[in-house]
Amino acid sequence: MDYKKNVETWLNSSKVSEADKALIRAMDDLTLQDAFGKNAEFGTAGMRALMGPGTNRLNEFTLGRANIGFAKYLLAKFGEKAKTMGVVISHDNRFNSREFTLLCAKIFNEVGIKAYIFDMLRPTPELSYAVRYMHACGGVMITASHNSKEYNGYKVYDETGCQLLPDAIAPLLDILAAMPDAVECEIPSIAEKGETITLGKDVDDTYVELVKKCQVNPDLDKSDFKVIYSPQHGASLETAIRVFKEVGYNIIPVKEQCSHDPAFGGTKSPNPELAPAWELSLEYAKRNSADLAVMTDPDGDRCGLAFLSSKGTYERLTGNQSGALLIDYLFSQMREKGTMPEDPVMYDTIVTSSLGRDVAAHYGVKVETFLTGFKFIGGRVAYYEKLGKGPTFVFGYEESYGCLISPFVRDKDGIQAILLYTEMALFYKSKGIALDVAYENLEKRFGYHYSALFDTYFEGVLGAAKMKELMDGLHAHPLKELAGLKVVATEDYLNDIITYADGSKKKIEGLPKSDVLKYVFEDKSTFAVRPSGTEPKIKFYVETVGDKEEGLKEKAELLNKDFRQVVGIK
């Protein structure tokens, strides 16, 4: 793509404001290449980008172009029915999120499609639910999830409330490829417009009731149990507080993070995966002698937890650890109460810890593993639902702090998750067991697992080329060993092949192609390499396993260090 030509197009367009033109003229050449060298693309979780002028930025033109494309896609798929079925749109607290929501509604209306919007921000899982509740033909969520304040994003959902899977999104990408530049795009307006309808409280009410039904032990004594909660300024605030209060928990909100501030002024990070996000929550926990602290990210699909440990300190669990512990709690209780279905299934991803799979197997739960992206989990639920037969969903999760307990939502649901994590912590407290002790007991039963996520950023157009060069090299020349550990299997998800140390090969069945490599070592440790679908970086997922905890962290760090030396990155 000729970035200089794109720059001229924008500078010469009467649609582009003088303020944006001034921003463009102030950009240096590298910034211009990054802003105009390609179009903002759909990745693992939709389209996510820095806000500002440019074809590779999120603004009224690029988002409008994407939404025009989605409207054409829905009309092609559903015909005239799309107009009456309508599309549900929601958003988080970010800069321009409400404006982008209204822009999307206007575009749908111009082509004759009804648009459903909320009166204010709502979390991603409720958007997924609302698509299903309204029997809409699709959904749009305006969010950049846990990214910093400079970002926003655009996610599209199908009629089942699931993000579009690769086969489903391919026609949309073809439509977008045939469309003109964002500033030259025109809305194909028709005479008979659609209308924009504000959703009623029944959507909130029914969603909340279904979340409450996720509880396994709703009658636990909650009177002596304090929970700190932070929405990270985001969309879960009102709904999560309502759920907690209605089921009887003593909730203490982190007030500084309870305004819907688009600048995230009350937090050092809106990402529950990162320690700085927890600083204020842990201050609250210590000040109030709380038992637990829970947190949702800005769009409410991810969550995290910190707990009062047996040592009297506050500790955090990773997504892999909390997920495995919750699996054990849920499945043990289902077995005890006789509510485990005859053919249960759990879903996870190729970069999720093997600990959860081991726990599931213990309870006789089948596991299906998918590529990174919760849309594959939601899509599998819809697949069996449409088929009318198959295993019964009992849990789905991924390492990046996302899980789903009940599939009335077809995306990860941070509100369901924090409710069940809170119940789990309360259950163990009633037995006199802190969560660190509960997790240690789990590892004694199933083996010790240490998981770590490392990454390297590749900024700008040159960075994207370097990422591709690195991944191409790894696919062409797989590693034979790392940090003294022999590779016994290389899982190449781009070429759909598992190659074993003896040279034998096995085809990977049932998964779409993806630029991911996973190395399995002789001691069952793993190292996965995957370019991020939402940020300019490559992620390294490391898991070390053994019959004792000592040395596992050091082994993971050594694998990461040796890999970087081998491929020549810092």
Active site residues: 145
Contacts of 568 (CB under 8 A, 6+ apart): none
* Torsion angle defined by CA atoms of residues 455, 273, 425 and 405, in that order, rounded to the nearest 10 degrees: -80
219: amino acid identity, one letter: D
Task: Count CB atoms within 10 A of the CB of residue 288.
Answer: 14
Contact 434, 428 (CB under 8 A): yes
Contact 403, 304 (CB under 8 A): no
Contact call for residues 442 and 359 (beta carbons, < 8 A): yes
State the DSSP string of 389-410: -SPEEEEEEETTTEEESSTTSS
- Secondary structure (DSSP) of 480-515: SEETTEEEEEEEETTTTEEEETTS-EEEPPS----S
The residues facing 529 across adjacent strands are 517, 540
Asked if 46 and 411 count as a contact pair (C-beta separation under 8 A), the reply is no
Quick check: helix, strand or coil at residue 312?
coil
DSSP E strand stretches across 18-146: 42-43, 46-50, 87-91, 115-117, 138-142
CA nearest to 42, candidates 188, 160, 157: 157
* Contact (Cβ atoms closer than 8 angstroms) between residue 271 and residue 206: no
Short-list 484, 514, 428, CA closest to 166 = 514
Integer-rounded Cα Rg, in Å, for the chain is 24
Contact status, residue 304 vs residue 273, Cβ threshold 8 Å: yes
